[in-house]
Every structure is written in C-alpha cells, then in structure tokens.
Amino acid sequence: MKKQLLAPLFISALFIAACGGGEKKEEKKKEDEVKISANEAPAEVKVSKGEELIAAKDCLTCHKVELKLIGPAYIDVAKKYPATEENIAMLADKIIKGGTGNWGEVPMTPHPDVSVEDAKEMAKYILSTGK
C-alpha cells in the first residue's frame, strides 16, 4: 500500500520540478547571452585622425596615454591644458618645433614634416585623453 501512495507522490514531485525548472533555465540562458554579448569585441573601433597620425609617427616612443616615459603621459597633458583653440595651437606648435622646459629638461624632438593641420589633430586627440 505504501508503494501505491508513494508512486503518485513521486511522479507529482517530478512534474512540479520539471515545470518550475524551465523558467530558471530560460533565465540562465538569458544571463549567458548577456555575458557573451558584453564580452564580444566591438565590430568596429573608431579611431580619430589625430590618433592615427600619432601612431604613424615616432610619438609613442616617448609618450603613452596613461604612462609617463621620456615625455609626459597624454592624460597628464590633457589635465594641464584645457581643450581650447589657444592650447591646441600651442601644442601643435610644440609638436612641429619641439621644445623643452614645460615637462622637465629632456627636449621634445621637433617634427617639421608634420603640417599645422595634422599637428592640431594630434593635439586635439591628446587633449581628449583626459576625459
């Protein structure tokens, strides 16, 4: 008689467990999808013209975005100089003519082959790193 009572009870418990587990599985599946999409690399990373110009020159030999090497980190330059037209022009001039004294005694190598327009694009990128 105990077997007759336990069988329907056991089957009912399995049925309830099977029905209730579906929602959790669906939630888990959605969580996994979110994790996957959050970990996926963007299809296309937009790079500014200034960043492209810097990468094509020797700038990254002495400068990094967040790390001081020979010259200051770009983020430190951005903290020191607000992104005004005056500062963009001044930094563009430093890129072209080089200089010393603003960040220590090590001189910045001049880049006379860089046009004023390109130097301004480079300066805009540098000043954007502080945001």
pLDDT in tens, 56-113: 999 999 999 999 999 999 999 999 999 999 999 999 999 999 988 888 888 999 999 9
Domain extent, residue 85, equals: 49-128
Same domain, 36 and 62: no
Q: Give how many domains the chain has, as a whole number.
A: 2
Q: How far apart are CA 42 and CA 3, in angstroms?
A: 60
Let me know whether 7 and 65 are in one domain.
no
pLDDT at 62: 93
- At residue 130, the pLDDT reads 87
Which phi and psi (to 5°) does residue 75 adopt?
A: -65, -35
Weakest mean pLDDT among 1-5, 50-54, 74-78: 1-5
- Answer yes or no: do 21 and 76 share one domain: no
* DSSP bridge pairs for 126: none
- pLDDT at residue 36, rounded to an integer: 47
Q: Say yes or no: 36 and 68 in one domain.
A: no
Backbone φ and ψ of 42, nearest 5°: -60, 145
| pLDDT at position 125 over 70 | yes
Q: For all residues of the chain together, what is the average pLDDT?
A: 81
Residues 60 and 11 in one domain: no
Q: How far is Cα 83 from Cα 37, in angstroms, rounded to an integer? A: 35
Provide the pLDDT for residue 41: 54
Same domain, 10 and 71: no
Question: Which residues, including other chains, have CB under 8 Å from residue 70's CB and lie 6 or more apart?
Answer: 61, 62, 63, 106
What pTM value is reported for the model?
0.65
